[in-house]
Amino acid sequence: MKIINFGSLNIDNVYNVQEFVKPGQTIFADSFQIAAGGKGLNQSIAAARAGAHVIHAGCIGPNGLFLTDLMQQAHVDISQVLTLDAPTGHTVIEVNASGQNRIIVHGGTNQMLTEDYLDTVLAQADAGDLVLLQNETNLIAAILYKSHEKGMKIAFNPSPMPQDPSSLPLHLVDYFMVNELEAAQLADMQADAPYEAILDRLAEKYPQASIIMTLGHNGVLFSQQKVRLSHPIFPVEAVDTTAAGDTFCGYFLAALCRNASINTALREASAASAIAVSRPNAAPSIPLYEEVEAFQRSAVL
């Protein structure tokens, strides 16, 4: 089983600050870096570093060639990535002294996928392969329909959350990769609703799907109808949480690709994301599988 990731490719402009800037305020940044990012790029690198066969599908501009270089170094198949005569997608990221982040995204070439391009990429797919997508590219509905027609399994990380999720054919999704806020929005519930109630509602709305809900300091929950599993976080000192969710997503799906158990997938993905938050930046923080194995042997929950 391989993963085809229709994913965003961004140039991250990262500003380290003591506190997030307030409306009307001007502040100095402690430091500034340009780094590779985009939820799609991060998730492809995470899955590839976890050992999965990953084909990345997406678009960059001439200023984004270093993004494909980084993916290729991580053994991601970049043969389907297009270079267009337009600016690469980019972000402005604030990281405060406690490692929390705030992110503004400009779509750029991530919003320039075409249906002909989708068909070309999906010609590489076999029934049973896994398609991964987020909400940082265009043509989400078309990707869902076309992937389902190919007999693929579909993993959707609805981030940023669609303005109208009901406009998408979410009944085709097999795995929802969500944090607690995204899960509550999908369930049409308040963000402070009990986790179990949110999972119950999602099971009613999307009975065909597994829900993987990351909860920050509270770990992760897995739900498939009446089956509920959980895993706590591995305690580490947080430096930068930017790629934590993407690392979890890539590692979890890579474990599924090699037919690992859900418990194993939850543990490996939790360990990988713990390592990622202990390091600065997005893609550079994603660990190799050997590091995750070593971390699990030494970690204490």
Positive or negative, the CA dihedral 155, 159, 161, 167 is negative
- Give the separation between CA 98 and CA 257, rounded to whole angstroms: 35
Compute the radius of gyration of the chain from its Cα atoms. Answer: 18
H or E element in which residue 3 lies: strand 3-6
H or E element in which residue 222 lies: strand 220-224
Q: Would residue 246 show up in a list of annotated catalytic residues for this protein?
A: yes
Count of CB atoms situated within 10 Å of the CB of 36: 22
Q: What are the phi and psi torsion angles at 230 (to 5°)? A: -145, 165
Measuring CA to CA, which residue among 27, 28, 26, 31 is closest to residue 15? 31
- Give the separation between CA 118 and CA 29, rounded to whole angstroms: 40
Asked if residues 136 and 91 have their Cβ atoms less than 8 Å apart, the reply is no
Question: How far is C-alpha 153 from the chain's CA centre?
Answer: 16
Structure-block tokens of residue 214? 């990351």
- Of the residues 12, 77, 174, 246, only one is catalytic, namely 246
Count of CB atoms situated within 10 Å of the CB of 248: 28
- Give the separation between CA 182 and CA 260, rounded to whole angstroms: 26
* 210 beta partners: 175
Q: Is 224 left (phi over 0), alpha (psi -120 to 50) or beta?
A: beta
Q: Any idea which residues carry the catalytic annotation?
A: 246
